[in-house]
Amino acid sequence: MRNMRMSLAPRRAVAALAAVLLAGSVAACGNSDTGASGGGDDKIVLGFSQVGAESGWRTANTNSIKEAAAEAGIELKFDDAQQKQENQIKAIRNYIQQKVDVIGFSPVVESGWDTVLKEAKDAGIPVILTDRAVDSADKSLYKTFLGSDFVKEGRLSGEWLVENSKDATGDVNIVELQGTTGSAPANDRKKGFAEAIAADPKLKVIASQSGDFTRAGGKQVMEQFLKAHPKIDVLFAHNDDMGLGALEAITAAGKEPGKDITIITIDAVKDGMQALADGKFNFIAECSPLLGPQLMELAKKVHAGEEVPPRIETEETTFTQEQAKAALPDRKY
Amino acid sequence: MNERFKTALSHRLFWPVAVLVVMLAANTIYRPGFLAVEVNNGHLYGTPIDILRLSAPLILVALGMTLVISTGGIDLSVGSICAISGAIACLHISQAADQNNPVTVFTALAMALGAALALGAWNGVLVSVIGIQPIIATLILMVAGRGLAQLVTEGQIITINSGPYRAIGLGHFLTLPLAIFIALGAALLVAALTRRTALGMIIESVGGNREASRLAGIRSGRMVFLVYVVSAVCAAIAGFMMTANVSSADGNNAGLWVELDAILAVVIGGTSLAGGRFYLSGTILGALIIQTLTTTVYAMNISPQTALLFKAVVVIAVCLIQAPAFRARLARRRRGNPPPSAPTPQRQKEEVTA
């Protein structure tokens, strides 16, 4: 009896596990089928595959696309890939089978899209990339890439600093908190910032480290910067979260953020905007997730067969402390 | 004198301590003020204090991991449990009307600890009752747990503004960070329970040979179940520290990869991955070495591109220098006459001496 139980137990466990996995995949399929009724009528059908819901930024991005689709009268089939490429490829193939009019997606990774994009092209369905690019050599596989220009965000931050340190005498010491090493936003923002501050030889980056785009990372690195360098004038963080983490380190060191140390960040998420309005940050270059309206406009254009430029930038702005106070009440994310 | 030096040299903690001292010395040469500690706002302030405070969560996670590894298992889910417990606690506090109310904070901690107990029990049941291999069993929660944490936070970063909760990560007691005392307290508790009673030896014997231990009258399954629960609770407390440190819960990043750091700390501390004997003091030292290494990268401003390589080289060096087999081979080569068939010291499962 005992032996039998022992041998049955693992099998039962495997069955249970399989059941759980099956339920998961059924639920995932359910996700992509919302909206039903394929193309056919005169309403444009847009199939969109989102990366996932990994941050507040991404959630705002998703909401913007859903709202804009409803407003523009476009039927949206939305799929959440949960940060997995295979889910995204599956979703795109589904859209091809359902013969949607336009496919949009935010690629999880840069490579490995050629086959599925070719399938879409053969089916005559135009593809629009949003937010992130793919590295396909054949540029005819997609119509356009709609997203932020990270280099420009870095450059805008640098230009603001150059403008605001015109009257400074002596060196202006800058420390930089980089994003995840090797990621496109980290590389490009660093590059743009460096290009802009090259205009003024007083501006010197004395230390630059990766804070992995997280609050904990930003804080830990800033703690060491503050101890290693007695005179820090400016902090440039590649996103709001690292800047927010650094705030705590600066306060603990007995300095006042925003006054003793000028803080420049990128993104403009709600917590960051709050810090800017409170006078703890000095400047934020926006990296907007609200590209829904632009995406819908593009979908209509490519569906009508109009030519669109291969690279379109998201409409973005920058914020000073006063602008943040004005913009904060109706900030969506 | 020479004799005493030899005894010190053969002590199992000699090499980890030596590595730590070398790292601190290198830092001091690079920047003489590295070890300086000053009083700021009535608290001690300086890099050594930072290292101690930041290593507190890792020490906690590694303590639980030591016990799990000692039974011959491994717990990959601790990072996810950190994220889940931090997320539950922060969510409850963020929804409260008065975030500074100690009752609210206490309820939040109790809820999160309860969840951690359940998750630990889940791991324990999978390994000890159902008999799934530990690496697979805990992998389930490692992957699914991240999703669970994001479900709790709804994919957002939950920012809180609670004095009492913040104190877990940043509070001070006797001019030192509270986190250090929490980690130290947990370490002393685990040490007292395992070394002042037979519990430690029972755990080691289960790791040495589970079936033999069972035949000797030890309820092996129950011991295995227990260590996973303890590991989850340690991870939950570490999760509180991590989230309190930045007053926000990030389901995606809190405790990310901490399981690997914890396993490394255990290994540096001298506990064999095959199970058997465990060394709590070694584990704590291992955690301190890992945190010092991270801080060194920032303090010396080693570029992020080379930082990972730098860390890898140091870790490989530490592991090699720790291994008796490697040291023996090195010593023979220095003497110049390698004996053809010297027995290499085997170190698979360490025997338990009663």
Within-domain flag for B289: yes
The pLDDT of residue B320: 86
Q: Any CB–CB contact under 8 A between B46 and chain A?
A: yes
The pLDDT of residue A35: 41
The pLDDT of residue B341: 52
Mean pLDDT, residues A252-257: 92
Within-domain flag for B3: no
Grade residue B337 by pLDDT with cuts at 50, 70 and 90.
Answer: low
Q: CA separation (Å) from A130 to A134, A287, A323?
A: 10, 13, 27
**Exposure on the CB side of residue A153, measured as CA atoms within 13 A:** 30
pLDDT at B166 over 80: yes
What pairing do the DSSP bridges indicate for beta strands A144-147 and A311-313?
parallel
The pLDDT of residue B338: 52
Fill in the amino acid letter for B161. N
| Min Cα–Cα distance to chain B from A242, Å | 10
Number of domains chain B contains:
1
Using a CB-CB distance cutoff of 8 angstroms, which residues of chain A are in contact with residue B41?
254
Judged by average pLDDT, the poorest of A15-19, B86-90, B231-235 is A15-19
Grade residue B43 by pLDDT with cuts at 50, 70 and 90.
Answer: confident
pLDDT digits (tens, 9 = 90+) for B62-80: 999 999 999 999 999 999 9
User: What does the mean pLDDT of chain B come to?
Assistant: 89
pLDDT digits (tens, 9 = 90+) for B93-151: 999 888 999 999 999 999 999 999 999 999 999 999 999 999 999 999 999 998 899 88
- Contact call for residues A60 and A333 (beta carbons, < 8 A): yes
pLDDT at A21 over 80: no
Interchain contact, A219 vs B47, CB within 8 Å: no
Judged by average pLDDT, the poorest of A128-132, B109-113, B132-136, B202-206 is A128-132
Residue-wise burial string across A298-320, b where 16 or more C-beta atoms lie within 10 A, e elsewhere: bbbbbbeeeeeeeebebebebbe
CA separation for the pair B48, B35 (Å, rounded): 6
Mean pLDDT, residues B15-38: 91
pLDDT digits (tens, 9 = 90+) for B239-266: 999 999 999 998 888 888 899 999 999 9
Grade residue B336 by pLDDT with cuts at 50, 70 and 90.
Answer: low
Mean pLDDT, residues B285-294: 94
Q: Any CB–CB contact under 8 A between B299 and chain A?
A: yes
Within-domain flag for B2: no
The pLDDT of residue B36: 87
The pLDDT of residue A19: 52
The pLDDT of residue A33: 40
Cα-Cα-Cα-Cα dihedral sign, residues A21, A26, A29, A30: negative
Question: Can you give the pTM of this predicted structure?
Answer: 0.82
CA separation for the pair A333, A58 (Å, rounded): 9
Residue B202: which residues within 8 A CB-CB, separation 6 or more? B213, B218, B223
ipTM entry: 0.85
pLDDT at A37 over 60: no
| Min Cα–Cα distance to chain B from A155, Å | 21
Q: CA separation (Å) from B147 to A128, B78, B153?
A: 28, 14, 10
Within-domain flag for B89: yes
Fill in the amino acid letter for B255. G
Backbone dihedral angles phi then psi of residue A51, each to the nearest 5 degrees: -60, -50
Domains and CATH numbers, chain A: 40-148+289-316 (3.40.50.2300), 150-287 (3.40.50.2300)
The pLDDT of residue A34: 40
Q: For residue A228, give the nearest of B159, B299, B303 by CB distance.
A: B299
Interchain contact, B247 vs A248, CB within 8 Å: yes
CATH code at B121?
1.10.3470
Backbone dihedral angles phi then psi of residue B43, each to the nearest 5 degrees: -115, 155
CA separation for the pair A62, A70 (Å, rounded): 13
Return the percentage of chain A with pLDDT > 70, whole number. 86
* Lookup: tokens for B168: 């877990």
Interchain contact, A216 vs B245, CB within 8 Å: yes
User: What does the mean pLDDT of chain A come to?
Assistant: 85
- 3-state class (DSSP) for residue B283: helix
Nearest CA in chain B to A177: B304
Interchain contact, A10 vs B294, CB within 8 Å: no
pLDDT at A321 over 70: yes
- Contact call for residues B183 and B56 (beta carbons, < 8 A): yes
**Residue B171: which domain range?**
19-330
Q: CA separation (Å) from A110 to B2, B96, B285?
A: 61, 42, 41
Helix axes A56-72, A292-303, angle to 10 degrees: 50
Q: For residue A216, give the nearest of B45, B246, B304 by CB distance.
A: B246
Return the percentage of chain B with pLDDT > 70, whole number. 94
Name the residue among B30, B228, B36 with its Cα closest to residue B129: B228
Mean pLDDT, residues A35-46: 62
Name the residue among A88, A86, A71 with its Cα closest to residue A63: A71
The pLDDT of residue A32: 41
Grade residue A6 by pLDDT with cuts at 50, 70 and 90.
Answer: very low
User: Can you tell me which residue has the tokens 């039998």?
Assistant: A4
Within-domain flag for B5: no
Mutate to test the interface with B, among A80, A87, A224 (most CBs of B within 10 A): A224
- Contact call for residues A239 and A166 (beta carbons, < 8 A): no
The pLDDT of residue B155: 76
Q: For residue B252, give the nearest of A54, A227, A244 by CB distance.
A: A54
Interchain contact, A54 vs B250, CB within 8 Å: no
Interchain contact, B246 vs A228, CB within 8 Å: no
The pLDDT of residue A29: 41
Nearest CA in chain B to A57: B156
Q: Give residue ranges of A with CB < 8 Å to any B CB.
A: 9-10, 13, 17, 53-56, 58-59, 82, 178, 181-182, 207-210, 212, 214-216, 219-221, 223-225, 227-228, 241, 244-245, 248, 252-254, 271
pLDDT digits (tens, 9 = 90+) for A155-198: 999 999 999 998 888 899 999 999 888 778 889 999 999 999 99
Using a CB-CB distance cutoff of 8 angstroms, which residues of chain B are in contact with residue A219?
245-246
Interchain contact, A10 vs B50, CB within 8 Å: no
Interchain contact, A216 vs B242, CB within 8 Å: yes
Judged by average pLDDT, the poorest of A131-140, B14-23, B167-176, B192-201 is A131-140
Interchain contact, B299 vs A271, CB within 8 Å: no
Nearest CA in chain B to A24: B144
Within-domain flag for B10: no
Within-domain flag for B6: no
Q: Any CB–CB contact under 8 A between B303 and chain A?
A: yes
- Phi/psi zone of residue B31: left (φ > 0), alpha (ψ -120 to 50 degrees), beta? beta
Within-domain flag for B8: no
Q: Any CB–CB contact under 8 A between B301 and chain A?
A: yes
The pLDDT of residue A18: 54
pLDDT at A108 over 90: no
Interchain contact, B253 vs A214, CB within 8 Å: yes
pLDDT at A3 over 50: no
